[in-house]
Amino acid sequence: MNATPPPRAAVVDPLCAPWESHPDGRVRLGVLFIHGFTGCPASLRPWAERTAATGYAVSLPRLAGHGTSWQEMTVTRWPDWYAGVERAYDRLQERCERVAVAGLSMGGALALRLAEHRDVAGTVLVNPAIATTDPRFKVLGILQHVLRSTPAIGGDIAKPGQDERSYPRTPLAPAHSMTRLWADVRGNLDQVAAPVLLFTSRTDHVVDPSSAAIITGRIPTTDHRMLEDSYHVATLDHDADRIATETLEFLARL
């Protein structure tokens, strides 16, 4: 009787591979970058590279189920994504005196959760998602049993020619799990002690203003800055250079 062949390993898009940079010796500060839901490291790569060029240790992991196919992502949930964040944080901490964290969209929620449970030096958030006023999210718990996926939410970029390498479909079971992550994060925001630099786009077709309102209302150390020329994936948009520059200024103060 023939044995069942092992499952094929997921093929990772080369542009979605994780990336890191570690200067020789022990570094004063490391920075952990976290990409968003159905996205991949490509959305943060220029930001991470510019940070590393200044001398910081940098880690940009690929979250579980991302950078391959939306079908593979279907079997992952938010604890899987957060586990990868914690592993990357621990590796940075081994070589750095302190570690700061930066996240885009859902990556912002994961960054905040890390700040709630670990001693991070500071947090940078770009259009973070921890809530929504979209009524469709209220039925995800039921809808996930009827539909596996819906049309994509990625690619919200004003600047022509940019591609965040997000999935063409949004898997609903992971999306429902993401709302559980949001609730967990909202319940512990008072545990965030380190300073927060928050960037939000004036025009964002993915995340509504409710998340930023909660963060600024619950975390008194938040420095909130508005982006006028970018959509949701601002790290690849017209304000990308401003985000990178002001992040470096923020890190220098830490």
Three-state secondary structure string covering the chain: CCCCCCCCCCCCCHHHCCEEECCCCCEEEEEEEECCCCCCHHHCHHHHHHHHHCCCEEEECCCCCCCCCHHHHCCCCHHHHHHHHHHHHHHHHHHEEEEEEEEECHHHHHHHHHHHHCCCCCEEEECCCCCCCCHHHHHHHHHCCCCCEEECCCCCCCCCCCCCCCCCEEEHHHHHHHHHHHHHHHCCHHHCCCCEEEEEECCCCCCCCHHHHHHHHHCCCEEEEEECCCCCCHHHCCCHHHHHHHHHHHHHHC
- Indicate if 22 belongs to the active site: no
* Per annotation, catalytic residue among 105, 149, 177, 211: 105
* Per annotation, catalytic residue among 66, 176, 204, 239: 204
187 backbone dihedrals φ, ψ, rounded to 5°: -75, -10
- Indicate if 119 belongs to the active site: no
* Per annotation, catalytic residue among 66, 177, 232, 237: 232
- Indicate if 177 belongs to the active site: no
Residue 61 to residue 34: CA distance in whole angstroms: 7
Residue 206 tokens, joined: 């993915």
Residues with catalytic roles: 105, 204, 232
